[in-house]
Structure 1
């Protein structure tokens, strides 16, 4: 009976050592996952900052395009007036 108990205790000790190894492995894997998650969070923050910069640049470009359209409309109006003046001068001369 004592031998059976001793064998059971030895088997339990062996199982516990095996479980301790498994726990260390799990901890290592968990640390690796934590590092990967931190890297992904950092990358996400970088991408978010880049997106904000792009938004500002797009709004700036949009404003510049509106301004250019306004300027182009002014040039078209002035050009039309110049053609009208040229036609009048040709009619006089």
Structure 2
């Protein structure tokens, strides 16, 4: 009887040892996954920081382009006004030239 109890206890111990090994393997797998996820999260945070920096640069560049475009629109409007004045003066000059020719 004692032999059977000893044998059963040994089987139980063997079974418990196998279960412990299996649990250790699974725990290590989970731990490895968590470490990988932490590394991925760290990389993502760095990427987000870089993206935020790039967005700031793009905003500043866009603001500069908007100001430059606004200035160009003003310059174009001024040039159109000046051209209209030149056309009016040229027209007046042609009229004066025609009068002078008719006097000859």
Q: Same fold (TM over 0.5)?
A: yes
Match of 2:35 among 1, 17, 24: 24
Distance 1:90 1:22 in 2: 98
Q: Which residue of 1 aligns with 2:9?
A: none
Deviation, 1:10, is 2.2
Runs of 4+ in 1 over 6 A off after TM superposition: none
Q: Which residue of 2 aligns with 1:37?
A: 48
Q: Which residue of 2 aligns with 1:91?
A: 102
Give the TM-score normalised by the residue count of structure 1.
0.89
Q: Deviations 1:41-68 (Å, cap 9, x if unpaired)?
A: 2112211221111111111000000000
Give the TM-score normalised by the residue count of structure 2.
0.81
Structure number with larger C-alpha Rg? 2
Q: Which residue of 1 aligns with 2:63?
A: 52
Distance 1:37 1:4 in 2: 49
Long gaps (5+) in structure 1: none
Q: How many residues align?
A: 93
Long gaps (5+) in structure 2: 1-11
Distance 2:22 2:43 in 1: 32
